[in-house]
Amino acid sequence: MTAGVSTPPREAARLAQLLRSSERAVVLTGAGVSVPSGIPDFRSPGTGLWENVDPMEVAHIDVFRRQPDRFWAFYGERFASLRDKQPNAAHEVLAELERRGLVRGVVTQNVDTLHRRAGSRRVIEVHGSIEQSVCPECACRVPVERVLELLAAAPGAPECAACIAPLKPDVVLFGEMLPETAMADAYALAAEADLMICVGSSLEVHPVASLPGVTLESGGRLAIVTQGPTPYDDEAEVSLRGDVVAELEAVLAALD
CA–CA distance, 172 with 153 (Å, rounded to integer):
26
Read off the pLDDT of residues 89-138 as tens digits, 9 standing for 90 and up: 999 999 999 999 999 999 999 999 999 999 999 999 999 999 999 999 99
Domains, in order of start, for the chain: 1-39+87-127+177-256 (3.40.50.1220), 41-84+131-171 (3.30.1600.10)
What is the arithmetic mean of pLDDT over 14-36? 96
What is the arithmetic mean of pLDDT over 142-165? 93
Instruction: Find, among 136, 159, 87, the residue nearest to 116 by Cα.
Output: 87
Q: Does the annotation mark 127 as catalytic?
A: yes
Residue 45 pLDDT greater than 70, yes or no: no
Residue 196, SS3?
A: strand
Instruction: Find, among 176, 186, 170, 171, the residue nearest to 123 by Cα.
Output: 186
CA–CA distance, 35 with 199 (Å, rounded to integer):
12
C-alpha separations of 14 from 31, 45, 117, 164, 208 in Å = 24, 32, 28, 56, 26
Q: What is the pTM of this model?
A: 0.90
pLDDT of amino acid 119? 97
Q: Which of 60, 91, 115, 127 is catalytic?
A: 127
